[in-house]
A and B are shown apart, each in its own frame.
Chain A
């Protein structure tokens, strides 16, 4: 049974010019112990989906979904209080920019201790004195911080980016969640730290069987880590599939552009040649084009693209495009 099952999630935002559909009928399913990457550029609504999933919403948002279940719990039916409980126990989130998400006025150790739930304490009351501290140390060891004394006594500004991210991950896994939502975990980090963090997430996934929803704008670094990838553009899901399907045999022009526009190591490429990329920029939410939202930027767009394409499924690989790439045409043999 799927751990997370979201069907046709629509998020509308109230703006002075009227309601705007920031996320348009997005479906997302995750099995237990799966790593899924949700890839999209800024303004594509990927963070909105994560926030809707956690229930951290603003009053101006209207969230509608046919189905939103975590295991056998229907998230949409819960009261706020019950939702908060689910948040602590089953879903945890790592927010963007770790150094700004930690409380700057408190020591890191205190913040980790605060995140440890008290329901799994065992033994008598005398065990409680040092228990939290020991747990916090164990958590830090788990995420690969050796010098726990120094880290626990320092303030967030004293720690490097990578360390802050590790502390955030430690706080997130304190409640042993089933699902970990990581919002841009490696953005603006240098290569060595980023690969450390990715390895840590992979380890957590393998050891605790935690499902991880990775949210990022960089398709290339995540393609090896993630089992499945969903590509989203302007609130519409454009391609969903297993990692090797999406990266190796992408059907949607947008996925293709994402893959080809970053210069890569493995493929020989003329130095200082012009990079292939999409023209134009991401449309503002108030001026979304009708039909396929990639339409005005798409090199293959034709008249049919003013109607929104439905997600088509071929061998578990879904894509929403009228004129998909890399698809073998059926050969009609005459005579």
Chain B
């Protein structure tokens, strides 16, 4: 199969307790299928509560899917098989400030995935950490720093470095770019684009900013109440949106406000 990532009929059901004995089944994501090639980016958009973040978490292996399969390079990924999964799919979390441990320095934050998943010696780990820091535009000395000594843009770079350090094929980005300041955000987007061109990494990213989606993605997946209502290439999505929700989103963005 040519596709790098192939998701087939993926769903996740959550039980909401209603009273003592009764509970209600609720589909966070419902029967989603899509393909993604190497070096492509997929944007997931939709309204809040539509299951965008749930899908990202299931892809990254944080939540367990109720049914359906995820294939990477034609091989199925099982839930719980972290050693294999984290070499293929890594995730950048929403808020870099709270996802970095404030008590350990950057060097330790970055070498933790190496220690857990690879058989590298301490020196090799150090070299890898330094190489990755340089890759994301930071200096060797930053390995000694603690997260509180860095600015928000630098923290985001550390988050990118942590995702990159195991050289994964796919990186899942959960709305982490939106919270940054405009001028810093442009730098991070540039960094992600450069990395994609160099290493042919695929991105799956959740975003509300359609301008960014148009710029950055190759395919767009529109979600509504857990279902994928539209999945098509970005160019087509922006010129001929099919579903009523996508048309509404596009209209709302195009004139977020016009007098």
Chain B residue, CB-CB nearest to A223: B257
Asked if residues A272 and B193 are in contact (CB atoms below 8 Å), the reply is yes
Max chain A C-beta neighbours (<10 A), residue from B153, B178, B183, B215? B183
Please name the residue on chain B nearest to A221 by beta carbon. B256
Q: How many residues of B contact A (CB 8 A)?
A: 40
Q: A265-B210, A265-B214, A277-B187 are in contact. Are A194 and B256 (CB under 8 A)?
A: yes
Partner of A272, one of B49, B182, B216, B248: B216
State the CA gap A202–B257 with chains docked (Å). 9
The smallest C-beta distance from A195 to any residue of chain B, in angstroms, reads 5
Residue of B nearest to A197 (CB): B257
On whether the beta carbons of A281 and B186 are closer than 8 Å, the reply is: no
Contact with A along B45-68 (1 / 0, CB 8 A): 001110000000000000000000
Q: Is A188 positioned at the interface, with any CB of B under 8 Å from its CB?
A: yes
Q: Is the CB of B47 within 8 A of A190?
A: yes
Binds B, one of A116-124, A165-173, A256-264: A256-264
Instruction: Please count the residue pairs between chain A and chain B whose beta carbons lie under 8 angstroms apart in the complex.
Output: 111
A195 B252 Cβ-Cβ under 8 A: yes
**CB 8 Å contact bits of B163-174 with A (1 = contact, 0 = none):** 000000000000
Contact call B210/A261, Cβ cutoff below 8 A: no
Question: Is B112 an interface residue, CB under 8 A from the partner?
Answer: no
In the complex, A33→B259 CA distance in Å?
Answer: 15
Contact A278 B49 (CB under 8 A): no
Q: How far is the CA of A193 from the CA of B194 in the complex (A)?
A: 33
Q: Chain A contacts of B215 at CB under 8 A?
A: 263, 269, 271-272, 275
- CB atoms of B183 and A278 under 8 A apart: yes
B14 interface residue, CB < 8 Å from A? no
- Which of B133-157 touch A at CB < 8 Å? 151-154
Instruction: Say yes or no: A258 contacts B183, CB within 8 Å.
Output: yes
Given A217-B181, A221-B256, A224-B259, answer yes or no on A277-B186 (Cβ-Cβ < 8 Å): yes
Question: In the complex, are the beta carbons of A217 and B182 less than 8 A apart?
Answer: yes
Chain B residues with a Cβ under 8 A of chain A: 47-49, 151-154, 178-179, 181-187, 189-190, 193-194, 196-197, 208, 210-212, 214-216, 234, 248-249, 252-259
9 sampled A-B residue pairs with Cβ under 8 A: A190-B48, A194-B252, A195-B256, A199-B257, A222-B257, A263-B211, A271-B214, A272-B197, A279-B187
